[in-house]
Amino acid sequence: MTVSAAHSSAFFREALREGAVWTVRDDGGFPAPQGHGGRRSQPFWSLESRAQHIIDTVPAYAGMETARISLVDFRARWLPGLQADGVGVGLNWSGRNATGYDLEATDIEEYLARADRA
Protein backbone atom coordinates (compact mmCIF):
# COMPACT_ATOMS: atom_id res chain seq x y z
CA MET A 1 0.00 0.00 0.00
CA THR A 2 1.37 3.44 -0.92
CA VAL A 3 1.65 6.22 1.62
CA SER A 4 -1.18 8.10 -0.14
CA ALA A 5 -3.40 5.01 -0.01
CA ALA A 6 -2.66 4.52 3.68
CA HIS A 7 -3.47 8.17 4.43
CA SER A 8 -6.68 7.92 2.40
CA SER A 9 -7.78 4.83 4.31
CA ALA A 10 -6.96 6.53 7.62
CA PHE A 11 -9.01 9.57 6.56
CA PHE A 12 -12.27 7.64 6.50
CA ARG A 13 -11.57 5.60 9.62
CA GLU A 14 -10.51 8.62 11.69
CA ALA A 15 -13.16 11.02 10.37
CA LEU A 16 -15.92 8.57 11.22
CA ARG A 17 -14.46 7.96 14.68
CA GLU A 18 -13.93 11.67 15.40
CA GLY A 19 -17.15 12.92 13.78
CA ALA A 20 -15.22 15.75 12.14
CA VAL A 21 -12.71 16.70 9.48
CA TRP A 22 -10.20 19.54 9.39
CA THR A 23 -9.10 21.95 6.72
CA VAL A 24 -6.91 25.06 6.75
CA ARG A 25 -7.58 28.72 6.08
CA ASP A 26 -6.08 32.15 6.16
CA ASP A 27 -7.39 35.68 5.64
CA GLY A 28 -7.94 34.85 1.97
CA GLY A 29 -10.15 31.86 2.74
CA PHE A 30 -9.71 28.15 2.15
CA PRO A 31 -6.99 27.04 -0.28
CA ALA A 32 -7.77 24.84 -3.27
CA PRO A 33 -4.45 24.48 -5.07
CA GLN A 34 -4.21 23.30 -8.63
CA GLY A 35 -2.92 19.75 -9.04
CA HIS A 36 -0.86 18.09 -11.75
CA GLY A 37 -3.87 17.61 -14.03
CA GLY A 38 -4.90 21.26 -13.72
CA ARG A 39 -7.83 20.54 -11.42
CA ARG A 40 -8.21 22.28 -8.08
CA SER A 41 -8.68 20.32 -4.86
CA GLN A 42 -9.30 21.48 -1.33
CA PRO A 43 -7.38 19.57 1.33
CA PHE A 44 -9.07 17.97 4.33
CA TRP A 45 -7.54 15.99 7.16
CA SER A 46 -9.12 13.55 9.57
CA LEU A 47 -7.23 14.85 12.61
CA GLU A 48 -6.29 18.38 13.62
CA SER A 49 -2.72 17.20 14.27
CA ARG A 50 -2.39 16.15 10.61
CA ALA A 51 -3.53 19.58 9.38
CA GLN A 52 -1.31 21.37 11.90
CA HIS A 53 1.70 19.34 10.77
CA ILE A 54 1.21 20.65 7.21
CA ILE A 55 0.97 24.23 8.49
CA ASP A 56 4.15 23.71 10.49
CA THR A 57 6.21 22.04 7.76
CA VAL A 58 4.99 23.13 4.30
CA PRO A 59 5.95 26.71 3.38
CA ALA A 60 2.86 27.23 1.19
CA TYR A 61 0.67 26.68 4.27
CA ALA A 62 2.72 28.71 6.78
CA GLY A 63 0.61 31.19 8.73
CA MET A 64 -2.66 29.36 8.11
CA GLU A 65 -4.88 28.04 10.86
CA THR A 66 -6.84 24.83 11.22
CA ALA A 67 -10.61 24.82 10.84
CA ARG A 68 -12.82 22.06 12.27
CA ILE A 69 -15.88 20.95 10.29
CA SER A 70 -18.35 18.51 11.80
CA LEU A 71 -18.82 15.41 9.69
CA VAL A 72 -22.54 16.22 9.44
CA ASP A 73 -21.79 19.68 8.01
CA PHE A 74 -19.05 18.28 5.77
CA ARG A 75 -21.49 15.81 4.23
CA ALA A 76 -24.52 18.12 4.04
CA ARG A 77 -22.87 21.36 2.91
CA TRP A 78 -19.23 21.04 1.98
CA LEU A 79 -19.29 17.96 -0.25
CA PRO A 80 -22.26 19.18 -2.36
CA GLY A 81 -20.66 22.63 -2.65
CA LEU A 82 -17.30 21.25 -3.72
CA GLN A 83 -19.01 18.99 -6.27
CA ALA A 84 -21.03 21.92 -7.67
CA ASP A 85 -17.87 24.02 -7.94
CA GLY A 86 -15.90 21.23 -9.64
CA VAL A 87 -13.35 21.12 -6.82
CA GLY A 88 -11.84 17.82 -5.73
CA VAL A 89 -11.39 16.66 -2.15
CA GLY A 90 -7.82 16.10 -0.98
CA LEU A 91 -7.51 13.40 1.68
CA ASN A 92 -4.92 13.66 4.45
CA TRP A 93 -2.30 15.28 2.24
CA SER A 94 1.19 14.78 3.61
CA GLY A 95 4.86 15.21 2.83
CA ARG A 96 7.02 18.20 2.08
CA ASN A 97 4.66 19.39 -0.69
CA ALA A 98 1.36 18.39 0.97
CA THR A 99 0.20 15.91 -1.66
CA GLY A 100 -1.93 12.78 -1.73
CA TYR A 101 -5.17 11.42 -3.11
CA ASP A 102 -7.82 13.72 -4.54
CA LEU A 103 -11.30 12.26 -4.98
CA GLU A 104 -14.65 13.47 -6.19
CA ALA A 105 -16.98 14.72 -3.47
CA THR A 106 -19.59 12.18 -4.59
CA ASP A 107 -17.08 9.36 -4.03
CA ILE A 108 -16.41 10.60 -0.50
CA GLU A 109 -20.14 10.70 0.29
CA GLU A 110 -20.66 7.25 -1.22
CA TYR A 111 -17.98 5.74 1.00
CA LEU A 112 -19.34 7.48 4.11
CA ALA A 113 -22.89 6.33 3.31
CA ARG A 114 -21.69 2.73 2.96
CA ALA A 115 -19.91 3.00 6.30
CA ASP A 116 -23.13 4.30 7.89
CA ARG A 117 -25.00 1.21 6.68
CA ALA A 118 -22.31 -1.19 7.91
Instruction: Give the structural domain span for 66.
Output: 3-30+38-117
Residue 78, judged by CB atoms within 10 A of its CB (0-12, 13-18, 19+), counts as buried
- Other beta carbons less than 10 A from residue 71's beta carbon: 17
* Domain CATH number, residue 104: 3.40.1350.90
- Of the candidate ranges 32-41, 66-75, 95-104, the one whose mean pLDDT is the lowest: 32-41
Torsion of CA 97, 82, 65, 94, to 10 degrees: -30
Number of domains in the chain: 1
pLDDT in tens, 3-34: 556 767 889 999 999 999 999 999 999 989 88
pLDDT at 101: 87
Mean pLDDT of the 83-109 span: 93
pLDDT at 8: 77
pLDDT at 9: 81
Beta bridge partners of 24: 66
Note the pTM of the prediction, 2 decimals.
0.92
To which H or E segment does residue 14 belong?
Answer: helix 3-18
